Amino acid sequence: MTVFKMIDDVDLADRFRTRLTRGDKFLIANLNASREAEDKYTVVNCGGYGRVRAFRDYKLYLETVAFPDCPPRPNFRGYPPSAIVRSQVFQLSACNWRCWYCFVDDDRLSAAPRTSTYLSAHELLDLYMAEADCPDIIDLSGGQPDLVPEWTLAVVEECGRRGLLKQIHFWVDDNLSNDFLFRYLSRDQLSRLAGVPTLSRMGCFKGFDEESFTFTTLAPAERFQGQFELAGKIIDAGFRFYGYVTFTTPTTTQLEMRMRQFVDRLQAVHERLPLVTTPLAIKRFSAMIPRLDDDRARSLNHQILAFLIWHEELKRRFPSEYPRLRPDQISLSR
């Protein structure tokens, strides 16, 4: 078994934050000549600073992988349901966790100036609008975009200045690793963001218990519980919130009990949080291949087993809603 060095994710978050902004500019990853660009779903645009993601078959959902003959249950996140959904993704160039399965190249997770450029929201929107047929969803991703939550605010405000606020949907990703959203935005800025009707936030739970969390992120185990606390704060702040979860685990012992406890923890945040949480299928992305060892490769098989237990647990707890309803048909209003 390979022993990996744990990271100090709090220190990393602070250090990356200082390197991610220059005045009104934010460090954006350039995807040209990256391993990520070799993945077939990656369609690079905006001079390398963006990519278009098309959602058609939802094979990134464990449910679709486990039940290939059933119609997928997409999460449209407030976007009008349609057969193909396209999003314009921009990636902030750092993350304070080190998930081995991450599809992003290490240097695009490390605020490295060689593979990133400082761009203002104005410059980013210029690049976006110069594209023919640009998608009407802007996905602010990373890396961990919440290392500088000011980025989301700047992009939304720039869209407002251009009169685009009603026609663009904003998808904001978050690994639920830090509370910078609440630390660095004022109460007024927070409520302005939460009040944008087309904005949704996606928090990704990394693993379903402390063991799978640390195995995945190399961050201290206590940060696992922190994800739930942060999700609760985001929901309480009035954001439209959805969850992803990844089920890569090094061991399968007592899987039923561990999954039950995970669903309990979600429900302690909000009774219906499991219904808006989608288990993701981890695939062999190009950037991940050099990071694989035997345990990690084996965990790719464990995720299906874990999903089947999750599926039975949700059917038992929500017999009239799961799996009949899509996550975006569920309300978390208190």
User: In angstroms, what is the minimal distance from the CB of 126 to ligand SF4?
Assistant: 26
By CB under 6 A, the count of residues binding ligand SF4 is 11
Q: Is 95 a residue that touches ligand SF4 (CB under 6 A)?
A: yes
**Region near ligand SF4 per CB under 6 A, out of 17-25, 33-41, 93-101, 130-138:** 93-101
User: In angstroms, what is the minimal distance from the CB of 82 to ligand SF4?
Assistant: 27
CA atoms within 13 A on the CB side of 304: 10
Confirm if 278 and 61 have CB atoms less than 8 A apart.
yes
Which position among 88, 116, 144, 248 is part of the footprint of ligand SF4 (CB under 6 A)?
Answer: 144
Q: Is 299 a residue that touches ligand SF4 (CB under 6 A)?
A: no
- For the chain, give the longest Cα–Cα distance: 55
Helix 255-269, helix 223-236: angle, nearest 10? 30
User: In angstroms, what is the minimal distance from the CB of 83 to ligand SF4?
Assistant: 28
Is 224 strand, coil or helix? helix
Confirm if 106 and 138 have CB atoms less than 8 A apart.
no
Which position among 28, 92, 102, 199 is part of the footprint of ligand SF4 (CB under 6 A)?
Answer: 102
Beta-bridge mates of residue 59: none
Q: Is 314 a residue that touches ligand SF4 (CB under 6 A)?
A: no
Which is nearer to ligand SF4, 25 or 98 (by Cβ)? 98
Q: How far is CA 167 from CA 126, 144, 203, in A?
A: 16, 25, 24
Nearest to 239 by CA among 290, 201, 291, 296: 201
Which position among 44, 99, 168, 230 is part of the footprint of ligand SF4 (CB under 6 A)?
Answer: 99
Which position among 16, 26, 97, 128 is part of the footprint of ligand SF4 (CB under 6 A)?
Answer: 97
Binding site for ligand SF4 (CB under 6 A): 95, 97-99, 102, 104, 109, 142-144, 175
